[in-house]
């Protein structure tokens, strides 16, 4: 499933399922919130913003569900 900027996405956290918005796709290694993520074109990450808290986080595209 392809995710596009602005899509509503869902992911699992220790607090349960979270809903947010896909903000920015990353396809090369990057640092976010003090952590390094090894993103690539074959294994992209997204910066997502939580609908509930407004907090941003980086998630591997394969761990996100659209819709």
pLDDT at 66: 86
23 exposure class (CB count in 10 Å sphere: 0-12, 13-18, 19+): middle
- Going from the C-alpha of 54 to that of each of 9, 12, 23, 48, 66, the distances in angstroms are 14, 16, 12, 9, 18
Q: Predicted confidence band at 67 (pLDDT cuts at 50, 70, 90)?
A: low
Bridging pattern class, strands 45-50 and 35-37: unpaired
49 exposure class (CB count in 10 Å sphere: 0-12, 13-18, 19+): middle
pTM for the predicted model, two decimal places = 0.91
> Using one digit for the tens of pLDDT, what is the confidence trace for 29-46?
999 999 999 999 999 999
């Amino acid at each position: 499933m392809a995710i596009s900027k602005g899509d509503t996405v869902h992911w699992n956290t220790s607090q349960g399922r979270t809903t947010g918005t896909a903000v920015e796709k990353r396809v090369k290694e990057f640092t976010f919130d003090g952590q390094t993520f090894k993103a690539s074109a074959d294994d992209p990450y997204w910066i997502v913003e939580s609908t509930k808290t407004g907090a941003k986080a980086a998630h591997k595209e394969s761990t996100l569900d659209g819709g």
